[in-house]
Structure 1
Amino acid sequence: MAQIRIRNTNERIEDQEQVKAFLDAQHVLFEHWEPAKLPVELREKFALNDEEKAQILSVYDEEIRDLAARRGYEIWDVISLSDATPNIEELLKKFEQVHTHTEDEIRAIVAGKGIFIIKGEGEVGYFDVELEAGDVISVPENTNHFFTLMDNKQIVAVRLFIEKDGWIAFNVEDPEFIKA
């Protein structure tokens, strides 16, 4: 389950009700999908072919369509990243730049782990949301953030989009952001 680390204070929030309450206060959608729905052979597989990605979309079709109907998403896909991904280090450098989008950025983690680093409101400052299989998060539009991988560099996630071209990132130079 998701955990939060507030960077200014190094406070950790691990209780799921408190995680949800904190994210709600920051206007960040947080939900949970059942990770056990994913077939066993895909739970630890991080290099996927198109058929396997389609299978994941099929397994979570009901959840995806429900979320799309509530939030206006038009298209979705599956992203898989691992050490087997060509140019993974270059991709991570690109991901690890604070930016915003004109629509929210959503990830439904179906395998592996990842971290959203998000700029909170007021005195909160930046906080990390450590995600694992089953966690679904949506960072609001125009919110400073970025997404990266945990040390094991393995993740599979469903991404949903409003715009058919996907997210367009607008990089932000924020003097308040300090790499951890």
Structure 2
Amino acid sequence: MAEIRIRNSNERISGEHNVKSFLEKQEVLYEHWEASKLPAELHEKFKLTDEEKAQILSTFDEEIKDLAARRGYKTWDLIALSDATPNLDDLLKKFEQVHTHVEDEVRAITAGKGIFIIKGTDDVGYFDVELEAGDVISVPEHKAHFFTLMENRQIVAVRLFIETEGWIAHPYEDATFQKA
């Protein structure tokens, strides 16, 4: 279940209702899918074959298509990151820059953990959304954010897009942002 840490106060928010309520006030969509429906052999597997990626997408086909229909997403894929990923540190440097998009950034976590760092309203500032299997988040277009891995450095996530080109980031300079 997702948990939130507000960076300027170190306040933590937990519990599905509390997390969802906080994120709604920040214009961030949060949902929860049933991660246990994934076959057991894929719960902790982070280096995936094309067949295993297709199996994960097939397992969550109904949820993906429902979310896509409600939010206008046209394409989706699966990303798997771990220490087995070639050039993982270089890839993370690309992710770990505050940026925006001209469409939502959506992640449905199917295994592992990750963190979205999001710029909230002026009274909140930046906050971390710690995600695990089953958590689904959509950061709205033009909202400053970035994504990174947690200590275990392992994640598998479905990504949904409106633009068929996929993930296009626009750097966001913010003097108030401080890395944790």
TM-score range, shorter chain: over 0.9
Could you list the structure 1 runs, at least 4 aligned residues long, displaced by more than 4 angstroms after superposition. none
Distance in 2 (CA, whole Å) between partners of 1:3 and 1:154 is 18
Report the AA paired with residue 35 of structure 2. P
Q: CA deviation at 1:167?
A: 2.2
Distance in 2 (CA, whole Å) between partners of 1:16 and 1:158 is 20
SS in 2 for 1:63: helix
Query: Are the equivalent residues in 2 in contact too, given 1:33–1:136 (CA < 8 A)?
Result: yes
Aligned to 1:107: 107
Aligned to 1:142: 142
Equivalence map 1:1-180=2 (5 Å) = 1-180=1-180
Q: CA deviation at 1:106?
A: 0.3
Distance in 2 (CA, whole Å) between partners of 1:123 and 1:167 is 29
Structure-1-length-normalised TM-score = 0.99
Query: Are the equivalent residues in 2 in contact too, given 1:103–1:167 (CA < 8 A)?
Result: no
Q: Deviations over 1:101-131 (max 9, x none)?
A: 0000000000000000000012110000000
Q: CA deviation at 1:141?
A: 0.2
SS in 2 for 1:124: coil
Report the AA paired with residue 11 of structure 2. E
SS in 1 for 2:151: coil
Distance in 2 (CA, whole Å) between partners of 1:124 and 1:84 is 36
Distance in 2 (CA, whole Å) between partners of 1:74 and 1:15 is 31
SS in 2 for 1:123: coil
Structure-2-length-normalised TM-score = 0.99
Query: Are the equivalent residues in 2 in contact too, given 1:82–1:153 (CA < 8 A)?
Result: yes
Q: CA deviation at 1:29?
A: 0.3
Distance in 2 (CA, whole Å) between partners of 1:164 and 1:86 is 25
Report the AA paired with residue 134 of structure 1. G
Distance in 2 (CA, whole Å) between partners of 1:17 and 1:76 is 27
5+ unaligned residues in a row in structure 1: which ranges? none
SS in 2 for 1:122: coil
- Give the length in aligned residue pairs: 180
Q: CA RMSD in A?
A: 0.5
Distance in 2 (CA, whole Å) between partners of 1:118 and 1:15 is 19
Q: CA deviation at 1:14?
A: 1.1
SS in 2 for 1:89: helix
Distance in 2 (CA, whole Å) between partners of 1:109 and 1:164 is 21
Distance in 1 (CA, whole Å) between partners of 2:6 and 2:114 is 16
SS in 1 for 2:106: strand
